[in-house]
Amino acid sequence: MSSPITLTIRRVQGDQVTNPFIISGLGATIHWMPQNDGKLSSQWRIIWEVHPMGPGPERPKRSYHQIHAPSAATSHTFPPDIWKPNESSNLFVRFWSDGRIAAGTFIPHPKGGVELLFGVAVMPVEVNTLESITNQTASHQWNDLVFRVWYIAGAGGQDDRTAFAAQVYEYLSQHNSLFSDCAT
């Protein structure tokens, strides 16, 4: 049986963020994809790049990401709810359908171990017409997503980075107040 984890989250002032990054070229389009049963289903194709904003051994690598999120036809809004962990790039991203986004990277803790440094932002929720989804013309583009609010989350004894980031983002799912200083 696993023991409970005590989660600590503290805000970090912008000038104290040691490994900041931005998400650049965030774009989304609708595509119809064939399924195993031969039917078509609509999916979001979401792409973005991560750009580290300074040197540092523990930071997300400059990287390109692409994901397909199913069931675009069941929701007329963007962004959809998505969880995208990527341990090899040291980047852990979560989109919420209400426009919230969190992206984090693990950094060394001064006393050993690691902590999750993550930025939060709120992007406008965009509504698509059924026609734009059906015709595959729904498209969204943001140049740079800059995180102006940063936090560090730590937990003793947590070795699984993906599981820990998922726990942090689950906490964020239930605590909108951590996004209160984000402007859309």
Sign of CA dihedral 168, 153, 67, 133: positive
pLDDT of residue 71: 63
d(CA 25, CA 28): 10
pLDDT in tens, the chain (184 residues): 455 567 889 999 877 787 788 899 898 888 888 888 888 878 888 899 988 876 665 566 778 888 877 765 556 778 888 898 988 888 899 999 899 999 998 888 878 788 999 999 998 888 888 888 778 888 888 888 889 899 999 866 667 899 999 999 999 999 988 888 886 5
Q: Map out the domains of the chain as residue ranges.
A: 8-176
* CA neighbours closer than 13 Å in the CB half-sphere of residue 175: 10
pLDDT of residue 104: 92
Query: Cα-flanking dihedrals φ and ψ of residue 109, to 5°?
Result: -90, 140
Q: What is the pTM of this model?
A: 0.84
pLDDT of residue 156: 63
Give Cα separations from 10 to 74, 102, 143 (angstroms): 36, 15, 28
Give Cα separations from 138 to 73, 75, 170, 179 (angstroms): 11, 12, 29, 27
